[in-house]
């Protein structure tokens, strides 16, 4: 049966979506207009078996048809209610009612560069979820460098010393597992047909042909780590580092160099995991990788792994870890809590969160500053700034300056 087009109305405020509450306990439904499309979030569950998350449907006004979007990213769980407001014409801020701080602020990207790229790849309507976190959070860390330089060794040391701080992004590869490698721990071992299909379906943040095999970082791998509250570590080659740099992930990137080509060769052979032919291939590729890594400005930091312990200490310094910091207790993300609010309005990149219908009836108003957002799908949206305002002290108008701009 064809669904009715959603009813909607403008409430006069710049780009604010109307908010509808469905009385048939189907939860809150919001509709947000972006150009010719209407994005309906929540409400009746679509028949796609995804009933345990906040649903998204898209209505195309130009064709009068409902579109079935490909929904990327980890989806928010359903909630008692939510509000929505359009930001920058490319993403919808969703604030969930009565949600835990870590689960309150979400962005549904509808026309960001990431979503536009995915639309081209998938040739379908695409939206992408990204969870919002307060402040800068801790950027994921990309560690790159030629094969055998010691990336894995350094990452293992870091994970052993700070198991609660860092989480490893488990890549996919078509390479054959080595003796001690475990599926799902060191890599997700897969075959080329499956992996190429998944890449085509937009499941990968980046992928590359490396030393004759296919390797890639799935969006899910990065999200699994961020969802566990840890800082994500990616061990990827230079091509992957370049792709990630051009994505919206916003990472810290570190290139590891060997003290010399001869040392690299010695290490690779001593590891004993590759055949002579494979060692030759990896060494040939190392020349170009070293050139690109050192000269392209692709990396934020370059470390020489000569003495392992010295290099590890330098890595820890770059990552802001030192003897006195209790890194095991650090969390990488900080949520934002708003408990029960009534509605949102947006002006000049500030979102005003209203309580109890009118600002003056409540004790606190929140202003969410979204002017400095960073990152986004396929990862977290960082840079949220929140401030609470007491309307009894300032008056509802107190947050507006003479130019009618909202200020904290
Ligand atoms: N500073 C160092 N001095 C001497 N040997 C080292 C040093 N760092 C690592 N090694 C050794 O070099 C070998 C290669 O290290 P590792 O496997 O960590 O490299 P990698 O960069 O992760 O390689 P790949 O990209 O192929 O996965 C290992 O046997 C490791 O023990
Ligand atoms: N672009 C990507 N490169 C990756 C990924 N996972 C690993 N790698 C790189 O591949 C080589 C070889 O690894 P090995 O385990 O076969 O020795 C190494 O340089 C890794 O950094 C990935 O997801 N994407």
86 within ligand 1 shell (Cβ under 6 A): no
pTM above 0.80, yes or no: no
Which atom, in ligand 1's list, is nearest to the CA of 266?
12
> How remote is the CA of residue 268 from the centroid of ligand 2, in Å?
14
Give 63: exposed, middle or buried? Use CB within 10 Å, 0-12, 13-18, 19+. exposed
How large is the ipTM? 0.99
> How remote is the CA of residue 146 from the centroid of ligand 2, in Å?
9
User: pLDDT of 254-305, one tens digit each?
Assistant: 999 999 999 999 999 999 999 999 999 999 999 999 999 988 789 999 999 9
DSSP 305: -
243 within ligand 2 shell (Cβ under 6 A): no
**H or E element that contains 42:** strand 37-42
- Among 203, 205, 236, the mutation site with the greatest number of ligand 2 atoms within 8 A of its Cβ is 236
pLDDT of residue 243: 93
Pairing relationship of beta strands 91-96 and 82-87 according to DSSP bridges: antiparallel
Tokens of 167: 């989480």
DSSP 135: S
Ligand with an atom nearest the CA of residue 199: 2
Q: DSSP of 244-288, one letter per residue?
A: HHTSS---EEEEEE-S-HHHHHHHHHHHT-S-HHHHHHHHHHHHH
* Cα–Cα distance measured from residue 38 to residue 35, given in angstroms and rounded to the nearest whole number: 8
* Cα–Cα distance measured from residue 117 to residue 126, given in angstroms and rounded to the nearest whole number: 9
- 37-42 sheet: strands from edge to edge: 19-21, 28-34, 37-42, 56-60, 65-67
3-state secondary structure string across 107-134: EEECCCHHHHHHHHHHCCCEEEEEEEEE
43, 9 contact by CB (below 8 A): no
Positions annotated as catalytic residues are 178, 271, 282
Length, in residues, of the chain:
408
Which position has the higher pLDDT, 176 or 403? Answer: 176
User: pLDDT of 197-240, one tens digit each?
Assistant: 999 888 899 999 999 999 999 988 998 888 777 899 999 999 99
Give 368: exposed, middle or buried? Use CB within 10 Å, 0-12, 13-18, 19+. buried
pLDDT of residue 51: 57
> How remote is the CA of residue 376 from the centroid of ligand 2, in Å?
24
pLDDT of residue 4: 55
- Lookup result for tokens 């010295």: 310
181 within ligand 1 shell (Cβ under 6 A): no
């Amino acid at each position: 049966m064809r669904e009715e087009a959603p009813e909607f109305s403008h409430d006069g405020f710049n780009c604010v979506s109307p908010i509808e509450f469905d009385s048939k306990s189907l939860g809150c439904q919001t509709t947000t207009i972006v150009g010719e499309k209407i994005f309906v979030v929540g409400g009746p569950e679509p028949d796609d078996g995804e009933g345990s998350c906040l649903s998204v449907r898209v209505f195309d006004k130009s064709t009068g048809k409902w579109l079935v979007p490909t929904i990327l990213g980890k989806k928010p769980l359903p909630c008692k209610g939510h509000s929505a407001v359009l930001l920058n014409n490319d993403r919808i801020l969703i604030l969930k009612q009565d949600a835990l701080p870590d689960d309150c602020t979400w962005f549904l990207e509808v026309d960001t560069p990431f979503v536009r790229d995915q639309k081209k790849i998938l040739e379908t309507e695409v939206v992408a979820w990204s969870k919002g976190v307060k402040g800068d959070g801790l950027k994921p860390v990309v560690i790159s460098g030629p094969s055998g330089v010691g990336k894995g060794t350094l990452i293992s040391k870091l994970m052993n010393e700070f198991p609660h701080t860092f989480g490893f992004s488990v890549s996919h590869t078509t390479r054959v597992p080595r003796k001690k490698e475990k599926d799902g721990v060191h890599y997700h071992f897969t075959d080329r047909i499956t992996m190429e299909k998944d890449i085509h379906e937009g499941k990968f943040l980046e992928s590359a042909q490396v030393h004759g095999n296919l390797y890639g970082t799935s969006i899910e791998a990065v999200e699994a780590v961020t969802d566990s509250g840890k800082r994500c570590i990616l061990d990827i080659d230079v091509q992957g580092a370049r792709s990630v740099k051009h994505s919206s992930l916003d990472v810290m990137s570190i290139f590891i160099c060997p003290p010399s080509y001869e040392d690299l060769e010695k290490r690779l052979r001593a590891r004993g995991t590759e055949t002579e032919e494979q060692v030759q291939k990896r060494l040939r590729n190392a020349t170009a990788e070293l050139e690109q890594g050192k000269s392209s400005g692709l990396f934020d930091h370059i470390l020489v792994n000569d003495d392992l312990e010295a290099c590890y200490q330098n890595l820890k310094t770059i990552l802001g870890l030192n003897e006195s910091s209790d890194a095991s207790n650090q969390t990488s993300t900080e949520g934002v809590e708003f408990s029960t609010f009534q509605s949102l309005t947006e002006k000049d990149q500030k979102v005003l969160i209203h309580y109890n219908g009118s600002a003056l009836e409540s004790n606190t108003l929140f202003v969410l500053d979204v002017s400095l957002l960073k990152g986004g799908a396929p990862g977290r949206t960082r840079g949220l700034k929140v401030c609470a305002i007491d309307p009894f002290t300032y008056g509802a108008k107190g947050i507006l300056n003479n130019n009618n701009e909202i200020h904290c």
